[in-house]
Amino acid sequence: MDKKLLIFLCAIVISANAGAQQQTAPAAKNLWLESAKVDSAVFPEKLFEDTKDIFLRNDNIVALLLAGGLSVMMTNNDIDERLAEHFRSHPSFDDLWDETFDIVGSPAFHFPAVAVWYAISAENQDDLNKQRSMTMLSALAINDAVTLGLKAVRSNDTPNGDSWAWPSGHTSSSFTVASVLHEFYGLKVGIPAYALAGLVAYRMMDAGSHWASDIVFGATLGWVVGHTVAGKHKDLEVAGFEVLPYLGNSYNPAIGVNLLKCF
């Protein structure tokens, strides 16, 4: 009887464990959703802090002022018009490549791509890539908000006659992406990313969608935003802790890592 009772109790325990796993399985499939709920609560503060870091740095302000001054000079000295006439007479891209660079360079492409990056990272509990995707999202959001604000203020027409030309949103967004990738992965990823951003910028002039001055300022804005935001957040963090090397001391030499978090 004791053996039968023991077998019966073991069966109950096994069944209970199986039932618990079945109940928790659906929740595990929504890790990205739970993570998004938590991160969305702190994201506005992250945006605010990142924005301050961008526009309270003297070197960033100087770069943007220089790019703005160059844009004014290009407009007032007919450089924009001469370059636009050149592109009208000597188009470079056929319809396929024109459409490709238009799509790849669009913020409407960048934001969903980053959302997929975030979802996959959260689902796999990959804290590093989840944080990097949030940094990219912050940089893109700030860049696009500034770009749209400047477009509304300037409110000039493109060579094609469309409204809201300066600065180029495709260019600023593409250079934001390239700058963030450069900060995170170095030149091995940065150089191809900059090359693609450059092709997007060239396409905007080639198609008559933007003046050259729109491109100059857009590229500068994207570079400033991307490098500032990603440069601030590129340190490795795990579960909110900054990962630092540990080398011990002369009395107790060792190699390892420190987990640091400020409360």
| Distances 107 to 144, 176, 238 between C-alpha atoms, Å | 8, 10, 29
Reported as a single tens digit per residue, the pLDDT across 171-227 is 999 999 999 999 999 999 999 999 999 999 999 999 999 999 999 999 999 999 999
Q: What is the pLDDT of residue 31?
A: 87
Q: What is the pLDDT of residue 214?
A: 98
Query: What does the block give as tokens for 141?
Result: 């959001």
Place of tokens 């960048």: 110
Q: What is the pLDDT of residue 153?
A: 96
CA–CA separation, 223 and 173 (whole Å)? 9
Q: What is the pLDDT of residue 124?
A: 92
Reported as a single tens digit per residue, the pLDDT across 67-117 is 999 999 999 999 999 999 999 999 999 999 999 999 999 999 999 999 999
CA atoms within 13 A on the CB side of 16: 6
User: Is residue 263 pLDDT above 90, yes or no?
Assistant: no
**Would 167 be classed as within a structural domain?**
yes
Domain count, the chain: 1
Q: With CA atoms as reference, report the closest residue to 177 among 150, 144, 207, 149.
A: 144
**Would 134 be classed as within a structural domain?**
yes
CB contact at 8 A, 233 and 53 = no
**Would 226 be classed as within a structural domain?**
yes
Which residues does residue 242 pair with via DSSP β-bridges, in sequence order? 237, 260
Q: What is the pLDDT of residue 259?
A: 60
**Would 27 be classed as within a structural domain?**
no
Supply the DSSP symbol for 167: S
* Angle between helical axes of 169-185 and 127-154 (0-180°, round to 10): 150
Domain extent at residue 135: 36-233
**Would 254 be classed as within a structural domain?**
no
User: Is residue 134 pLDDT above 70, yes or no?
Assistant: yes
> In sequence order, what DSSP letters do the residues of 5-48 get, joined into one string?
HHHHHHHHHHHHHHHHHHHHHHHHTTHHHHHHHHHHHHHHHHHH
**Would 7 be classed as within a structural domain?**
no
User: Is residue 44 pLDDT above 80, yes or no?
Assistant: yes
Domain containing residue 165: CATH number = 1.20.144
CB contact at 8 A, 258 and 246 = yes
What mean pLDDT is reported for the chain? 86
**CA 38 centroid distance within chain:** 19
Q: With CA atoms as reference, report the closest residue to 143 among 215, 204, 226, 70.
A: 226
**Would 69 be classed as within a structural domain?**
yes
CB contact at 8 A, 80 and 212 = yes
**Would 21 be classed as within a structural domain?**
no
